[in-house]
Amino acid sequence: MKIVVFGDIHGRLEWYDVVQQENPDLTIFLGDYVSTHEGISADQQCGNLEDILNFKQEYPDKVILLRGNHDMQHLGYSWAECSGLNRVVQDWMMTIKDRFLEMTQWVHVQDSIVFSHAGISKVWMQNVGLDNVEDINTLEPSEKFGFWPCKLSD
């Protein structure tokens, strides 16, 4: 099985050419479809995400869309605050929030390989009360997915 994996698209368009060239059996996007420091316009970020969602809709069994922290930030989740917030992108993403959440997931497991936007630890799994990695996808967006640096004790 040929798998193509894209991490942190951030509005870039190159994914389409790679998919056309490689013709993979499965395409996995690791999240962060929006938010950029490269001067990519809000229109391009929104249009690109719309194209990716349409790609998933057209090939539901061949395309996996994961959620990234920048995406969740633009959906208004304060626990996902990070750099690169664009109010135009955020306003647009709020109009597609339900569609985005329905078409995306937190993790994907393929042949014992776990794909996620960020790491998954045994401690985190215990803290959220899960035993199976795939059960992460049953969780609603919440602060459980936020990154909160902790103070290390002396």
CA separation (Å) from 124 to 32, 130, 131?
21, 9, 10
CA separation (Å) from 27 to 33, 52, 126?
14, 11, 30
Beta bridge partners of 65: 29
What is the residue-averaged pLDDT of the chain? 92
CA separation (Å) from 81 to 68, 86, 91, 106, 140?
11, 12, 15, 17, 17
pTM tops 0.75 = yes
Question: Do the bridges between strand 63-65 and strand 26-29 make them parallel or antiparallel, or are there none, so unpaired?
Answer: parallel
Per-residue pLDDT tens over the stretch 26-72: 999 999 999 987 889 999 999 999 999 999 999 999 999 999 999 99
